[in-house]
Structure 1
Amino acid sequence: MTEIDYAWRGDFGNADVNALHAEGFGHPPADIDWRAQVRGHSLGWVCARRRDDGTLVGFVNVAWDGGVHAFVLDTVVAGDARRAGIGAELVATAVRGAREAGCEWLHVDFDPHLREFYFGSCGFTPTDAGLIAL
């Protein structure tokens, strides 16, 4: 397995994140300005890149409320790089970044099939929460 470098608030191109997001979430590629989005609304983000060629193989966004709550969003790992611990390390790097920024809580919502990943691999604990589908 190729070695991976993780960077809190790492540099990335919109095309790379759009392609990774489309692959990971199963939708057609979009033209989202991720750079503007995260710089305007996020505490930080984490990029995972293959050390040998710099290819972006993972990304997670950490939105926040401007205070003590941060939120994990859009955790994604390239299909050919999954099941190697990259997702867990993306989240661990996000946890460190949020903690160092003074956040007291890191929240995550996820689909049921990701329960073991977030609770088992990443250390989140179940809580009561509410949701309104808009």
Structure 2
Amino acid sequence: MGTAYVAKSKILQAWGGDVGLGKHLYKLGYLAEGTPAEHLAQGLAGAADWVVVTARPADAESEAAILERMGRKEKMVDPAYYPRLKGEAGIVKINPGTVENSMRIRFALENGREVNEIKVKPTDIARYLLDNALG
């Protein structure tokens, strides 16, 4: 049993905003052994300020299986197209509106009523990513 995680980097998000990808870029990953913090300390995708938003135990074959499943739902950033990513797979471009819609549906099903105002936070995005990638 390994660990699935979602991380963010302010440097990578600022770069994404500069090149037209948008600032909502997150790293979705899976480790069979070790901790996400140790893995991210290597400075992935040219950024050294990675912060783990959330991690969850997961029973998956590999990171490629998780990324393939997530790729059906959200846009994965092609690491071959952007040299800055240095071949790092698992960078996901998120539309906050999609996460907000998912939260509205979840709240309506749980509470039986509609929620008027929702502010999407990084933890909400991380939950959305892990629920869809593992689920």
Shared fold by TM > 0.5?
Answer: no
Which structure has greater helix proportion?
A: 2
Q: For the superposition of Structure 1 and Structure 2, which TM-score range results when normalised by the shorter chain?
A: under 0.3
Query: Under a length normalisation based on structure 2, what TM-score does the superposition of the two structures give?
Result: 0.25
Scaled by the length of structure 1, the TM-score of the pair is 0.25
Q: Identify, as 1 or 2, the structure richer in strand.
A: 1
